[in-house]
Amino acid sequence: MKSFNVGIIGATGMVGQRFTLLLSKHPWFNVVCVAASSRSAGKKLKDAVGEKWAMTQPMPEDIGNLVVLDAEKDIDKIAAQVDFVFCAVNMKKDEIKALEEKYAKAEVPVVSNNSAHRHTPDVPMVIPEINPEHIEIIASQRKRLGTKRGFIAVKSNCSLQSYVPALAPLMDEFKVTKALTCTYQAISGAGKTFATMPEIVDNVIPFIGGEEEKSEQEPLKIWGKIEGDEIVPATEPSITAQCLRVPVSDGHTAAVFASFEKKPTKEQILKAWAEFKGVPQELELPSAPKQFLHYFEEDNRPQAKLDRDLEGGMAVSIGRLREDTQYDYKFVCLSHNTLRGAAGGAVLLAELLAAKGYFDR
Ligand SMILES: NC(=O)c1ccc[n+]([C@@H]2O[C@H](COP(=O)([O-])OP(=O)(O)OC[C@H]3O[C@@H](n4cnc5c(N)ncnc54)[C@H](OP(=O)(O)O)[C@@H]3O)[C@@H](O)[C@H]2O)c1
């Protein structure tokens, strides 16, 4: 694979910091520029981040020494240096929509962690193991934007990165008709640490703005089909969600209940999880976990602290599968919210796009 020059838009933030670590030794992607708000522009990244560095490993020195550009004012400067950008910014939704379209129209492909374009019908929202074929909609999007190379591709919300993969291998054969999920979400999902979110210590906060809607609706786009110039969302399964913030640094847990048109046996579910592979595993993409879904037999697993870093934080852990009195089955699953759920998921999506030629000139 040839190598590509990339920019990180939002490099000073929680997700941006993860990108610096994931990309510093990436075999295909070479970080040549970083950008953030005008508050950070002009400073070296390491100085702009300063005390906000929230990772356990140190910031990679070469990326830390890059001077931060202004994500809004320096688009042309950035476009001249990169083959594509990752974007993870904390701005109003309409501002993010406009910003990402400006990059795309400057012929810069955007791989985004932001929610702004997740429901734009010709923007693919991709979990690479589940709906890699949705990237084919990019041809329609380029037509609408009037671009040759530029486009926007997004990853889905972090809350659903454990239960959508767990349900996916059961969809075709057994048809999931309804699912109920309660998520227990880490504070890094809000861009916070225990130092910046002291109110979470010894506490559970039963509200995360917009999260329940995303958890219920985004899976339907992921399971949707391309029809003409848009992705038409699936109509089933019906999903209901409650999302709670819990005192965990990293790792979103979900307690899931599911019913099926054709109820599988427990052995059939375990076999489907054990055998599930996608395009990233077939193509051996650098960030793809070897085994995407890991089932734990122990009653007290998965645990955020013990299992979130499985396969570099890119695998999903599942446990406690058992029959339920009201739904067919219930189980618990876990994924790392800033790795598989954010920066890592975006890097894997970019690897898929690179392997399929979408960044070629
Ligand atoms: N954290 C997660 O687990 C997670 C998971 C999935 C998706 N996401 C999404 O990823 C995005 C970033 O999340 P985060 O947790 O990394 O947020 P964050 O820690 O608050 O970082 C926000 C970033 O946005 C930049 N920014 C703010 N205003 C800007 C402006 N006007 N122009 C350009 N850049 C601006 C900030 O730059 P300054 O430092 O200069 O202010 C910073 O780099 C959000 O859309 C979030 O919903 C987060």
CATH number, domain of 28, equals 3.40.50.720
Atom of ligand 1 nearest to the CA of 191: 15
| Ligand 1: residue whose CA is nearest its atom 24 | 89
Domain-located, residue 306: yes
| 213 belongs to a structural domain | yes
For the chain, the domain total comes to 2
Whole-number Å distance between alpha carbons of 31 and 297:
41
Does residue 206 sit in the same domain as residue 271? yes
360 is a domain residue: no
Residue 261 domain-assigned (yes or no): yes
Q: Which of 26, 117, 134, 252 is catalytic?
A: 252
Q: Are 139 and 119 in contact (CB under 8 A)?
A: no
| Residue 258 maps to a domain | yes
CA distance 134 to 81: 28
In this structure, the answer to whether residues 200 and 263 fall within a common structural domain is yes
Nearest CA to ligand 1 atom 40: 37
Domain of residue 226, CATH code: 3.30.360.10
**105 and 185 inside one domain:** no
**Gap from CA of 114 to ligand 1 centroid (Å):** 8
Q: How far apart are CA 235 and CA 208, in angstroms?
A: 25
Atom of ligand 1 nearest to the CA of 95: 31
Q: Is the CB of 338 under 6 A from ligand 1?
A: yes
Q: How many CB atoms lie within 10 A of CB 208?
A: 18
Asked if 96 and 35 sit in the same domain, the reply is yes
Domain check: are 149 and 200 in the same one?
Answer: no
Is residue 85 in some structural domain?
A: yes
Q: If you search the block for the tokens 């688009």, which residue do you land on?
A: 75
111 and 49 within one domain: yes
**Shared-domain flag, residues 290 and 198:** yes
Give pLDDT, residue 83.
Answer: 98
- Atom index in ligand 1 nearest the CA of residue 68 equals 40
Residue 119 is a catalytic residue: no
The answer on 350 and 300 residing in a single domain is no
74 CB within 6 A, ligand 1: no
Q: Is 344 in the pocket of ligand 1 (CB under 6 A)?
A: no
In a domain, 361, yes or no: no
Half-sphere exposure of 166 (CA within 13 A, CB side): 29
Domain assignment present for residue 349? The answer is: yes
- What is residue 252's predicted lDDT score, i.e. its pLDDT? 98
Catalytic residue among 87, 158, 243, 333: 158
User: Ligand 1: which of 90, 187, 348 to mutate, judged by most atoms within 8 Å of the beta carbon?
Assistant: 90
Same domain, 222 and 332: yes
Considering only CA atoms, which residue is closest to atom 35 of ligand 1? 37
Q: How far is the CA of 352 from the centre of ligand 1 (A)?
A: 24
- How many Å apart are CA 10 and CA 13, to the nearest integer? 6
- The answer on 142 and 28 residing in a single domain is yes
Rounded CA gap, 183 and 253, in Å? 6
Which parts of the chain have pLDDT scores under 50? Answer: none
Q: DSSP 3-state assignment of 7?
A: strand
Q: Is residue 26 among the annotated active site residues?
A: no
171 with 308, same domain: the answer is yes
Measure 262 CA to ligand 1 centroid, in angstroms: 42
Among 210, 195, 182, which Cα is nearest to 249's?
A: 195
Q: How far is the CA of 257 from the centre of ligand 1 (A)?
A: 32
Question: How far apart are the C-alpha atoms of 82 and 79, rounded to whole Å?
Answer: 6
Q: Which residues contact 243 (CB under 8 A, 6 or more apart)?
A: 159, 182, 183, 185, 207, 208, 211, 212, 215
Length of the chain counted residue by residue: 361
Q: Could you tell me if the CB of 249 is within 6 A of ligand 1?
A: no
Q: Closest ligand 1 atom to the C-alpha of 337?
A: 3
Gap between the Cα atoms of 295 and 67, Å rounded:
44
Closest Cα to atom 47, ligand 1: which residue? 114
The pLDDT of residue 208: 97
Its domain, for residue 112, covers: 4-157+342-355
CA separation for the pair 232, 108 (Å, rounded): 26
Distance CA 352, CA 329 (A): 33
C-beta 14 within 6 A of ligand 1 = yes
Query: Do residue 192 and residue 152 come from a single domain?
Result: no
